[in-house]
Structure 1
Amino acid sequence: MFDATTIDAYLDTHDDDLMALVHRLISIDSQIPPYADERAIVAFLIEEVERLGLGTVTILGPSPERPSLILRMHGTGGGKNLMLNGHTDTKPVGEARDEWNTPPLEATVKDGIIYGLGATDMKAAIAAMIYAAVALKETKTELRGDLVIGMIADEEAGAQLGAKFVAPHVTDVDAILIGEPSGWEHDWQGIHLVSRGVCCFRITVTGTQMHSSLSDRMPSVNASVKLANLMVGISDDLSLPFVPHPLGDVGPTLNVGVMIEGGTFFGVVPGRAEFSCDLRTVPGMTKEEVAEGIESWLAACRAADPDLEVTYAFEPSLDWIPWSELDATHPLVAATQRAAADVLGEAPALQVFPGGTDAPWYSQVGIPTLPSFGPGVLTCAHGPNEFVSQESVRQAAKMYARIAADFCA
């Protein structure tokens, strides 16, 4: 058994250090390329974990520009190895920069809330993981198994250069917990055993590019108008087979027009238009069935409109990020529930995570992975004024320390 009271007391005493680390990580620009990359944040994290004396570090990645950091704190032997996983990259600030009330790359605290890019997705979780490890080390809590912390690149752009690359190299862990924000209305809303998959595709319409003044005299096809009709119809008419997941009766989501392109300039009938779709899949769905569904829908659209010239293509690297699922009877689930009940007073319900995570890349190489249990709410991620509550960061560190001490025993 471990002494949770001693662990909590250490973390309470070093709360300023934990919060300072969250602030420092937010201040380091790790937006996905071409805006930035993970080199600066990984360089800082190497210095930090070595300063704290936490264990050995390994850098993995397909190139020096996209590094992932693996920290291993060695146990005494004979126990199970746990990896706590977080991604170091963020989405771009994007076109919402003017909507930020505070500087995105500067942590700002107001009424117990930390604002900044990556605050909830997911730099706060990484800081909490590190200080959970520090607390275990400094309180001399015995771990028989190893505690591993994965600080991974490229999650926000599809994980091809991050978790997908890293997963085959970390098979010496028995289970993984990912610290993605596990609330959407409030902190700690669920222990997420399932992450949806991601399937992105583009629909492209070809029209007649010509002088717009002649559209009443010469035959023409306005690609943008045809595209608009398809955008309106796809949500209702695209049929994809799925079985609702028993955890919440959850199905897939289709977001239409996440990007739109088309037309040349005033005076020109649009000769090409394109819209992009973001499909989030649930366990049991396959890429082949999605392709069949799109092809069947487009065939019906062409039959109804002989002037329609349309094609589709899956987005490279985002064409199929698999869904992932952890069995509810796995020991990591029980350890997480015990930690949550101890810190929060009650364990959150088992849920399906709304989005995709790094989980499938690990589960595909045989590592049981819990896709999401972390501080913050997903609702504010990928948009302006991203935030995380200081209290949820404190709770995360205490729960991660308990989970590691329990599982690695």
Structure 2
Amino acid sequence: MSHEQIDAYLAQREDDLIALVQDMVAINSQIPPHGDEREIVKFLQETLTRLGLADELTVIGPSEDRPSLIARIRGTGGGKNLMLNGHIDTKPIGEAREQWRTEPLEATTINGTMFGLGTTDMKAAVAAMIYAAYALKETGTPLSGDLVIGMIADEEAGAQLGAKFVAPHVTGVDAILIGEPSGWDHDWQGIHLVSRGVCGFRIIVHGTQMHSSLSDRMPSVNASLKLADLMTRIGAELDVPFTPHPLGQVGPTLNAGVMISGGTFFGVVPGRAEFACDLRTVPGQTKDEVAVGIEAWLDACRAADPELQVEYSFEPGLDWVPWSELDAEHPLVTATQAASKDVLGEAPPLGVFPGGTDAPWYSQIGIPTLPSFGPGVLTCAHGPNEFVSVESIHQAARMYARIAADFCR
């Protein structure tokens, strides 16, 4: 079956593909306690059944209220099996609700751009994967290997109840492509062979909780002031060794103060304060090295300030989301380059995805995984007015169909 026939079929179904994205955005799958994945998994089960893509549908999760969905479309046999993977949860709307120009849980298209929570991260990619599989089936494109679609929970909260749980149960898969948005300034800026890891930790400062009116008469330590000093210094002073990655000489990033808390109320000198740090790691780094770096920095801070009482703790569930890396010579990379050159006119360069993905949970158990190749730009994710271009959704479906046809042939 020619690419032209697949494209022609997808062209006939363009409105249906966009409608699927709209339906998915309308379902609240924000991470708990703001929402959960149960309704969207039920909806996707019904959709895949309606489209005839329910050869094998498996709902899997650590509990009924945190489900993921795996669909397997059987090939004729003898070929390699490919999994197209996307997460179906979203970050919370959060404190930026009033900055949205459209309703977050309603996909609104303006001049070829669709706005809505989860459009770029990453419900559009999941919809494109489904319609790529549908086009292959309806055009009779022969696949020797199986095509698997993974619709995974809990990615936005660290994947402990999603891909980390699901990965050991994924069998008979030779490679995985994750549809995370692969642009930052514009669509399709890279075929990302690396995803950075995530290391979350907190710096906790202790002070003297007491009546604030006495702070000029009795010795006291204001934990919040001590914290402010540390928070402004950690970015420049924390030394964690790394080797820049050859794909762009990328290193780690540290964001201090992604969350802050401290103090009791007016009239009270703060006796405790803490700030959270988000460290994005690169291949080669280890949690032990990060711990050594933090401890060395805090020791130096204590030596310089005898009043300072400070400790740190890694964040449960986000203490170490590993980095992931795929060999540039892997057949999935070759298939992705060929598909993107055919559809986009030129294959995007190989690169490093700035964030973390579900990739390490699969690659750590031996399944080669491409961490990011999907529609949209990461720039607008996790904030107000998230968007994806309609054109990139259709391009994604065409490329995913080609990649599957090539890899599973």
Structure 1 residue aligned with 2:19: 20
Structure 2 residue aligned with 1:286: 286
Task: Report the alpha carbon displacement of residue 214 of structure 1 after superposing the two structures with TM.
Answer: 1.1
Structure 1 window deviating more from structure 2 (331-340 vs 206-215): it is: 206-215
Task: Report the alpha carbon displacement of residue 235 of structure 1 after superposing the two structures with TM.
Answer: 0.7
**C-alpha distance in structure 2 between counterparts of 1:107 and 1:81, whole Å:** 33
Structure 2 residue aligned with 1:258: 258
Aligned counterparts, 1:82-231, within 5 A = 82-231=82-231
Deviations 1:374-407 (A, max 9, x none): 0000000000000000000000000000000000
Structure 2 residue aligned with 1:48: 47
**C-alpha distance in structure 1 between counterparts of 2:367 and 2:247, whole Å:** 21
Structure 1 residue aligned with 2:3: 4
Runs of 4+ in 1 over 3 A off after TM superposition: none
Task: Report the alpha carbon displacement of residue 84 of structure 1 after superposing the two structures with TM.
Answer: 0.1
Give the secondary structure class of the aligned counterpart of 1:62: coil
Structure 2 residue aligned with 1:62: 62
Give the structure-2-normalised TM-score. 0.99
Task: Report the alpha carbon displacement of residue 171 of structure 1 after superposing the two structures with TM.
Answer: 2.7
Q: Which runs of 5+ in 1 are unaligned?
A: none
Task: Report the alpha carbon displacement of residue 322 of structure 1 after superposing the two structures with TM.
Answer: 0.3
Letter in 2 for 1:291: A
Whether the 8 Å contact between 1:171 and 1:365 is mirrored in structure 2 is no
Deviations 1:36-57 (A, max 9, x none): 1000000000000000001220
**C-alpha distance in structure 2 between counterparts of 1:168 and 1:372, whole Å:** 21
Task: Report the alpha carbon displacement of residue 15 of structure 1 after superposing the two structures with TM.
Answer: 0.3
**C-alpha distance in structure 2 between counterparts of 1:225 and 1:14, whole Å:** 59
Structure 2 residue aligned with 1:395: 395
Whether the 8 Å contact between 1:57 and 1:71 is mirrored in structure 2 is yes
Give the secondary structure class of the aligned counterpart of 2:249: coil
Structure 2 residue aligned with 1:76: 76
Task: Report the alpha carbon displacement of residue 213 of structure 1 after superposing the two structures with TM.
Answer: 1.4
**C-alpha distance in structure 2 between counterparts of 1:309 and 1:6, whole Å:** 68
**C-alpha distance in structure 1 between counterparts of 2:263 and 2:244, whole Å:** 39
Tell me if 1:32 matches 2:31. yes
Aligned counterparts, 1:249-398, within 5 A = 249-398=249-398
Give the secondary structure class of the aligned counterpart of 1:59: strand
**C-alpha distance in structure 2 between counterparts of 1:16 and 1:103, whole Å:** 21
Whether the 8 Å contact between 1:171 and 1:367 is mirrored in structure 2 is no
Give the secondary structure class of the aligned counterpart of 2:29: coil
**C-alpha distance in structure 1 between counterparts of 2:25 and 2:287, whole Å:** 36
**C-alpha distance in structure 2 between counterparts of 1:14 and 1:268, whole Å:** 63
**C-alpha distance in structure 1 between counterparts of 2:112 and 2:267, whole Å:** 54
Structure 1 window deviating more from structure 2 (149-158 vs 207-216): it is: 207-216
Task: Report the alpha carbon displacement of residue 325 of structure 1 after superposing the two structures with TM.
Answer: 0.1
Letter in 2 for 1:388: V
**C-alpha distance in structure 1 between counterparts of 2:232 and 2:388, whole Å:** 36
Deviations 1:261-308 (A, max 9, x none): 011111111111100000000000000000000000000000000000
Give the secondary structure class of the aligned counterpart of 1:405: helix
Whether the 8 Å contact between 1:340 and 1:399 is mirrored in structure 2 is yes
Task: Report the alpha carbon displacement of residue 181 of structure 1 after superposing the two structures with TM.
Answer: 0.2
Query: CA-atom RMSD, angstroms?
Result: 0.5
**C-alpha distance in structure 1 between counterparts of 2:170 and 2:2, whole Å:** 29
**C-alpha distance in structure 1 between counterparts of 2:226 and 2:178, whole Å:** 42
Letter in 1 for 2:73: M
**C-alpha distance in structure 1 between counterparts of 2:122 and 2:235, whole Å:** 31
Give the secondary structure class of the aligned counterpart of 1:335: helix
Give the secondary structure class of the aligned counterpart of 2:227: helix
Task: Report the alpha carbon displacement of residue 193 of structure 1 after superposing the two structures with TM.
Answer: 0.1
**C-alpha distance in structure 1 between counterparts of 2:229 and 2:49, whole Å:** 57
**C-alpha distance in structure 2 between counterparts of 1:335 and 1:60, whole Å:** 29
Deviations 1:101-137 (A, max 9, x none): 0110001010001100000000000000000000000
**C-alpha distance in structure 1 between counterparts of 2:56 and 2:301, whole Å:** 58
Deviations 1:53-96 (A, max 9, x none): 01220111010101110000100000000000000000000000
**C-alpha distance in structure 1 between counterparts of 2:232 and 2:40, whole Å:** 42
Count of matched residue positions in the alignment of Structure 1 and Structure 2 = 408
Letter in 1 for 2:351: Q
Give the secondary structure class of the aligned counterpart of 1:19: helix
Structure 1 window deviating more from structure 2 (306-315 vs 266-275): it is: 266-275
Q: Which runs of 5+ in 2 are unaligned?
A: none
Give the secondary structure class of the aligned counterpart of 1:210: coil
Letter in 2 for 1:407: F
Letter in 1 for 2:144: R
Letter in 1 for 2:353: F
Task: Report the alpha carbon displacement of residue 212 of structure 1 after superposing the two structures with TM.
Answer: 1.1
Give the secondary structure class of the aligned counterpart of 2:101: coil
Give the secondary structure class of the aligned counterpart of 2:333: helix
**C-alpha distance in structure 2 between counterparts of 1:391 and 1:317, whole Å:** 36
**C-alpha distance in structure 2 between counterparts of 1:27 and 1:170, whole Å:** 29
**C-alpha distance in structure 1 between counterparts of 2:298 and 2:121, whole Å:** 36
Give the structure-1-normalised TM-score. 0.99
**C-alpha distance in structure 1 between counterparts of 2:281 and 2:230, whole Å:** 21
